[in-house]
Amino acid sequence: MYFSMAFCGRAVRLARLRASTNHSDVTLPCLNVLRYRNHSMTNSGSSNCSSHVFQTTPPCRIMPFSVSASQTTIMTESIRLPAASLKPATVALPGSKSISNRTLLLAALSDNTCEIHSLLKSDDTDRMLEALDKLGVEIEYLAEGRLKVHGTGGQFPNRTADLFLGNAGTAFRPLTAALAVLGGDYHLHGVARMHERPIGDLVDALRIAGADVEYLGNEHYPPLHIGERQDRGERVIPIKGNVSSQFLTALLMALPLTGQAFEIRMVGELISKPYIDITLKLMAQFGVQVANEDYRVFKIPADACYHAPDHLYVEGDASSASYFLAAGLIAATPVRVTGIGANSIQGDVAFARELEKIGADVVWGENFVEVSRPKERAVQAFDLDANHIPDAAMTLAIVALATGQTCTLRNIGSWRVKETDRIAAMANELRKLGAEVVEEAEAIHITPPETLTPDAVIDTYDDHRMAMCFSLVSLLGVPVVINDPKCTHKTFPTYFEVFSSLTDAA
């Protein structure tokens, strides 16, 4: 009888989940049309930079593009970037996605009000804001992109909600943990790709902490149902960190809501440690100090409570900076990005140091980084352990095409469970340009061709970083066609307008 009742409850939840949303598996949030997603695969510094950011008519062409999938013809868009030269430029970065969504959740859980400046406006932050609204958080939208979050004192007003989170991992994982610790009646789901991204390691840890989390589809994957937590007194929580550092981030941010002291112990290797540094530094700004014992043990104090700063300024996105900094190296033209600098809390600022090792001149300021290269200096090949810059490392896969030699990126296994399988996707699309590519489970080896294939049509797999990375091909002497350019709405909606404003057609 118990099994039957549990099964019926699960069936009802599945029915409610399906009835509550009009999102189909092929309706992706970054385009207003149906699209096929291919599964195949303070230092002042000196500079003569002038600022070229938005121009009315970018030197690129938007084209409709039709494909056939399962005998159904559906439409997407593509953009053709001509072979181009780069102008000296200064680029004001959009806010960091990692900081923006962490800040929104911490502010919502605080016992006071926080005014947030320079928050990223994108699909991923929109999903977080929509979820917080459904959970009863009061948010005021102010002038100049500012917003004021009225904290809930560590308990969301609405204890029942259906939350669609798109493909936003920085919203899905932390909200899963926070809601599981607080308890209620919640359904969390997203686009088809989100339901392919693992969450089992986080759920296992939450269950040890007493959470009631149920899989509504495949085991270890979303969608999820979250019920009431039953505290069993467990205060030592093991968690794996070799798939995604977001699992540890989610647990770190959620456990202080219990008011109990906890010890989190890592099982195996922890990848992407710089993202944990972001989490810990933001938690400290919100009044919760976590003891970090060499990234093996994390100790959360008893009676912790989030208290927001009155004002918080979101840094520029260091991962997004990588495309412009790499452009400066490839084109041997000075490019400055503002919004990040020498004291950034984001690990991806280390991307500039990797560029310096392979031929770039780098100038660091308090709120800027600038990259250039003397034309007589070649871009050097590299063999890099990229665990410290997993997102920005994708950009180096394109930089490899400028070296003329085989390049290797190692320790990038986390690419496999991102917005798409980024190792497979990157390999597929680099081959279209004529490159020889060897994939491994956690590495990629790239040998550029003598001449790149012009007008290669690049699929982006609904992955914003694929689209932005391959824009750089246009600086290597050939035009390139990029499908689904609007997938950049996930983190950088105006990317192609900004990029095109920095270039002149060759």
The pair of structure tokens assigned to 310 is 């009155």
Q: 97 among the known binding-site residues?
A: yes
Q: Could you read off the pLDDT of 205-237 as tens digits, one per residue?
A: 999 999 999 999 999 999 999 999 999 999 999
Contact status, residue 256 vs residue 230, Cβ threshold 8 Å: no
Q: Residue range 266-275: average pLDDT?
A: 95
Which of 474, 398, 412, 401 is CA-nearest to residue 444?
A: 412
Q: Residue range 76-84: average pLDDT?
A: 93
Using CA atoms, how far apart are residues 270 and 281, in angstroms rounded to an integer? 18
What's the predicted TM-score (pTM) here?
A: 0.84
- 366 dihedral zone (left: phi>0; alpha: psi -120 to 50; beta): alpha
Q: 183 among the known binding-site residues?
A: no
Helix or strand run (H / E) with residue 16: helix 2-19
Range from 46-55, 307-316, 451-460, 478-487 carrying the lowest mean pLDDT: 46-55
Q: 37 among the known binding-site residues?
A: no
Mean pLDDT score of the chain: 88
- More confident position, 274 or 21: 274
Q: 391 among the known binding-site residues?
A: yes
Using CA atoms, how far apart are residues 397 and 408, in angstroms rounded to an integer? 8
Range from 43-47, 241-245, 403-407, 427-431 carrying the lowest mean pLDDT: 43-47
Helix pair 422-432, 464-471: axis angle to 10 deg: 30
pLDDT of residue 76: 61
Catalytic residue IDs: 391
pLDDT of residue 75: 38
Q: Map out the domains of the chain with their CATH numbers.
A: 61-88+377-505 (3.65.10.10), 97-313 (3.65.10.10)
